Amino acid sequence: MLLRELQNIFHKVLDVIYSKEEVNSFFFLCLEHYLDFPRFQLALQPEYTITKSETDIFFKILEDLKQQKPIQYIFGKTAFYGLEFIVNAHVLIPRPETEELVDWIIKDYKERNETAKIKILDIGTGSGCIAVSLAKHLQNAKVYSLDVSKEALNVAKQNAELNEVDIQFIEANILNKNFHSTLYTKSKFDIIVSNPPYVRHLEKPEIKSNVLDNEPHLALFVEDKRPLVFYETISQFATNNLKRNGCLYFEINQYLGKETKQILIDANYENIELRKDLNGNYRMLKGIKN
């Protein structure tokens, strides 16, 4: 089949679901991923044809996209902070906002002392994108990753191996207070970071169906009555487990910035900073333990 014909089929099937620009992006991403065929090459070789087996692969992808399966899950990987990560339905697809949080932490600590040995805990690690990126760029750091999901931890372990970093993984529920005292006796941290579940069920109408129908709800949603339960618990945990002048970083719900900041104020953190992302939404929070 001619690639041009295949491109037309992609548009015929998918333009009713996605914008034409998105469909074009999907098509050319697939060309590069499966055929190692760069986008510009199609203009140079408009009569380029693919085999039946290659055509079958593209029709399978087309069906997945028709069902609004995220392209990252179709490929089984994605890029984050310049690194490659394995992703599947057990973990959230890393977002640009989380890259901004990682960048904030790295810049804070590289400015302090690039040779300093620091201890970091990532709570709710998911794919491990935060922990792995920090371990890669803060090479004197000892990084710990915690998640309640065994399946998510398996993905995070693969990503640590893929990116050649050493991380200690912990399977635990941060909401279980019995666990808190256990970890407290082992060590204290210079940095605790978390991108916990923060989307209220009342916000579901705002979530695109490709996210709602595919990404793990365990990592996304909290009950409307206690939307900040993870922030409250982690802040309390960090009070007992951060070193003096240690930093607590959060990714947050943009609609609950003031309320989340108040948690750190009430817990007597200092130099609290609520920061906007590149889209102008309050999505990141930092506090320093006194």
Q: Dump pLDDT digits (tens) for 39-94.
A: 999 999 999 999 999 999 999 999 999 999 999 999 999 999 999 999 999 999 99
Q: Amino acid identity, residue 27? A: F
Which of 176, 170, 106, 174 shows the shortest CA–CA distance to 141?
106
Across the range 116-138, mean pLDDT stands at 95
pLDDT for 113 equals: 61
Across the range 151-156, mean pLDDT stands at 98
Across the range 24-47, mean pLDDT stands at 94
pLDDT for 139 equals: 84
| Alpha-carbon gap, residue 285 to 263, rounded angstroms | 11
- Is the per-residue pLDDT at 186 higher than 70? no
Using pLDDT thresholds of 50, 70 and 90, give the confidence band for residue 184: low
Query: Quick one: DSSP state of residue 180?
Result: H
Using pLDDT thresholds of 50, 70 and 90, give the confidence band for residue 117: confident
Cα 24 from chain centroid (whole Å): 25
Using pLDDT thresholds of 50, 70 and 90, give the confidence band for residue 185: low
| Alpha-carbon gap, residue 39 to 27, rounded angstroms | 9
- Sheet strands (E) in 97-177: 118-123, 141-147, 167-171
122 close to 143: Cβ distance less than 8 angstroms: yes
Burial of 27 (0-12, 13-18, 19+ CB in 10 A): buried
- Which has more confidence, 185 or 225? 225
The percentage of the chain sitting over the pLDDT mark of 70, rounded to a whole number, equals 97
- Is the per-residue pLDDT at 112 higher than 80? no
pLDDT in tens, 267-285: 999 999 999 999 999 999 9
- Is the per-residue pLDDT at 251 higher than 80? yes
Using pLDDT thresholds of 50, 70 and 90, give the confidence band for residue 210: confident
Mean pLDDT of the chain: 94
- Is the per-residue pLDDT at 115 higher than 80? no
pLDDT for 101 equals: 98
pLDDT for 110 equals: 80
pLDDT for 241 equals: 94
Using pLDDT thresholds of 50, 70 and 90, give the confidence band for residue 114: low
- Sheet strands (E) in 90-188: 118-123, 141-147, 167-171
pLDDT in tens, 157-178: 999 999 999 999 999 999 998 8
Q: Write out the H or E segment, with its range, that includes residue 270.
A: strand 270-276
